[in-house]
């Protein structure tokens, strides 16, 4: 609404200034017209009275002419009419109000009338009708009229003009305010609300503005922008969903690749308990075991079967995607499961996996299957980095960073390390330093993606 108010105020100020200027010019023109009408009236009166004075003077004499001027003055109460001599005389009562020298200086050849606004008579208009009588000095009939009525008329006209202009300004202000609110204020409020909705991610509510002007064009373009943003958001959501699905498939593919590596070692480790089971079962079946030792032999068979089942169960748990929600989990127990899972691979490579825990009860909310996959990848990478064997340490501890409590899992190996060239790419997909056929280049990339989420 501020824009509409500014527009209304600016319009009212401009209109007010325009009306004030017009009023001032009208007042000046009115003053000029009034002064011109007064002078015209005195000029017409001077022509008539001057001719009459000259005729009476020549016919009846000086005294009759003066009496005639007195009678005419009484008829024109707003104008003083008297006879004056323009040449030096001994009688001051016939001396003109304006100096004779000034009157004569304003006369041009053949001119019989002089009108002026003398500064020595402020607020008066004086007109002289020049008469040249035979045998007499140069004289004139003097007409003097006060302009008090003119000033009163001007004040009245000015008050009327000011009142009219104020009324016009108020009407303009009211109309401009209504139109400004309707054509500018409300549309801008709608556009502001729409911009706020767009900033909040709401692109489906258009601005209902139907104006054939710049604001209407702006509303149309903002609606189009909102539609484009909505389509872009839908595309981004679709792409994000596809990317998440692709990442999930990539994580699962890496998990299956790890399952393949673990299964190859698991098959070798299953051989020993299977041999024990086969041998004990054969001895019992062929009667080579005394009756008193049969329960003990059966317990050994059951123990080896449980051992095989535990190996297979761990591999199956690792292969499953599991629940994607975070749940509280024991970190020492998690590292123990990882040790059991990668134990066959480590033993085959002559690598020993050990654990070190500052707090055996340390726990943290996490996605168990994903964290198991991360630790398994790191341990397998550590095993592959130690071709001559060595030790991998799974360490858990609590840490405080920036005032926040954190649970930390460390995987430490005794490998040769990572070259500076490889450090810049170790988390890139399909990047590997292993010989062909020994690595997919997805392990650390998948670990980074899992930990990022």
Digit-coded pLDDT (tens) for 408-425: 888 888 887 777 777 776
pLDDT score for 35: 72
Q: Are the CB atoms for 130 and 114 separated by under 8 Å?
A: yes
Identify the residue with better confidence: 358 or 152. Answer: 358
Q: CA gyration radius for the chain?
A: 59
Opening angle at CA 386, ends 382 and 389, nearest 5: 115
In this prediction, residue 395 has a pLDDT band, given cuts at 50, 70 and 90, of: very high
Q: Which has the higher per-residue pLDDT, 362 or 30?
A: 362
Q: Which helix (H) or strand (E) holds 261?
A: helix 214-285
Q: For 56-80, what is each residue's pLDDT tens digit?
A: 888 888 888 888 888 888 888 778 8
Q: In this structure, are residues 270 and 298 in contact, taking their beta carbons and an 8 Å threshold?
A: no
Q: What is the pLDDT of residue 153?
A: 67
Distance of CA 43 to the CA centre of its chain: 73
| Terminal Cα-to-Cα distance of the chain (whole angstroms) | 46
Q: Can you give the pLDDT at residue 270?
A: 65
Two tokens at 67? 């009496």
> Of 376, 373, 357, 362, which Cα lies nearest the Cα of 329?
362
State residue 425 phi and psi, 5-degree precision: -130, 5
Average pLDDT rounded to a whole number, residues 41-49: 81
C-beta separation of 249 from 257 below 8 A = no
Query: Residue 47 above 70 pLDDT?
Result: yes
Name 84's bridge partners.
Answer: 140
Q: Which of 355, 358, 363 is nearest to 330 (CA)?
A: 363
Q: What percent of the chain has pLDDT over 90?
A: 1
What is the C-alpha separation between 99 and 96, in angstroms, rounded?
A: 6
Place 164 in a pLDDT band, splitting at 50, 70 and 90. confident
Mean pLDDT on 209-237: 76
- Residue 322 pLDDT exceeds 80: no
Here the contacts of 46-55 (C-beta below 8 Å, separation 24 or greater) are 46/113, 46/127, 46/128, 46/129, 46/141, 46/143, 47/129, 49/81, 49/129, 49/141, 50/112, 50/129, 50/131, 50/141, 53/83, 53/131, 53/141, 54/131, 54/133
427: pLDDT confidence band, cut at 50, 70 and 90? low
Coil, strand or helix at 38: helix
Residue 390 has pLDDT above 80, yes or no: yes
Judge whether residue 216 has pLDDT over 60: yes
Q: How many CB atoms lie within 10 A of CB 399?
A: 10
Distance in angstroms (rounded) separating the CA atoms of residues 141 and 134: 16
Distance CA 309, CA 150 (A): 124
Q: Which is higher by pLDDT, 403 or 281?
A: 403
For residue 391, what is the enclosing H or E element?
strand 390-401
CA angle 7, 11, 15 (to 5 degrees): 175
Is the per-residue pLDDT at 331 higher than 80?
Answer: yes
Predicted structure pTM score: 0.43
CB 162: neighbour CB atoms within 10 A?
Answer: 13
Domains of the chain: 2-160 (3.30.450), 241-452 (3.30.565.10)
3 state DSSP class of 413:
coil
Residue 179: pLDDT over 80: no
Kindly report, residue by residue over 348-382, the tens digit of the pLDDT: 888 898 998 988 888 888 888 778 878 888 888 88
pLDDT at 335 > cutoff 70: yes
Beta bridge partners of 394: 355, 411
pLDDT greater than 70 at residue 99: yes
- Which residue's structure tokens are 């749940």? 327
């Amino acid at each position: 609404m501020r824009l509409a108010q500014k527009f209304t105020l600016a319009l009212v100020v401009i209109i007010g200034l325009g009306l004030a200027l017009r009023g001032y010019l009208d007042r000046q023109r009115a003053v000029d017209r009034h002064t011109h009408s007064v002078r015209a009236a005195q000029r017409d009166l001077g022509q008539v009275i001057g001719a009459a004075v000259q005729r009476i003077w020549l016919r009846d004499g000086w005294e009759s002419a003066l009496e005639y001027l007195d009678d005419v003055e009484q008829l024109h109460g707003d104008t003083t009419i008297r006879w004056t001599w323009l040449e030096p005389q001994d009688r001051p009562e016939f001396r003109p109000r304006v100096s004779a020298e000034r009157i004569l200086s304003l006369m041009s050849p053949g001119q019989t009338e002089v009108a002026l606004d003398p500064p020595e008579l402020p607020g008066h208009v004086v007109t002289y009708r020049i008469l040249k009588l035979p045998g007499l000095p140069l004289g004139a009939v003097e007409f003097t009229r006060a302009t008090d009525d003119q000033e009163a008329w001007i004040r009245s006209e000015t008050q009327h003009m000011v009142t009219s202009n104020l009324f016009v300004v108020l009407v303009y202000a009211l109309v401009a305010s209504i139109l400004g609110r309707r054509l500018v204020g409300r549309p801008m409020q709608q556009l502001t609300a729409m911009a706020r909705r767009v900033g909040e991610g709401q692109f489906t509510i258009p601005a209902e503005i139907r104006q054939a002007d710049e604001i209407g064009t702006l509303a149309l373009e903002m609606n189009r922008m909102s539609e484009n943003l909505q389509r872009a958001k839908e595309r981004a959501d679709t792409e994000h969903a596809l990317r998440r699905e692709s990442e999930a498939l990539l994580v699962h593919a890496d998990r299956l690749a790890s399952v393949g590596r673990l299964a190859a070692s698991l098959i070798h480790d299953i051989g020993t308990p299977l041999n024990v089971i086969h041998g004990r079962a054969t001895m019992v079946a062929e009667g080579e075991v005394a009756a008193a030792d049969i329960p003990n032999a059966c317990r050994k068979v059951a123990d080896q079967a449980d051992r095989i089942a535990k190996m297979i169960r761990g591999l199956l748990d690792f292969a499953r995607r599991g629940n994607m929600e975070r749940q509280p989990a024991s970190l020492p127990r998690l590292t123990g499961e990882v040790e059991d899972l990668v134990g066959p691979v480590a033993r085959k490579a002559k690598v020993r996996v050990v654990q070190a825990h500052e707090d055996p009860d340390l726990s943290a909310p996490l996605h168990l299957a994903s964290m198991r996959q991360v630790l398994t990848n790191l341990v397998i990478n550590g095993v592959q980095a130690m071709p001559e064997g060595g030790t991998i340490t799974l360490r858990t501890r609590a840490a405080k960073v920036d005032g926040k409590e954190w649970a930390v899992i460390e995987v430490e190996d005794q490998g040769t390390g990572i070259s500076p060239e490889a450090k810049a790419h170790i988390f890139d997909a399909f990047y590997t330093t292993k010989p062909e056929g020994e690595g997919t280049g997805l392990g650390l990339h998948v670990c980074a993606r899992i930990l990022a989420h």
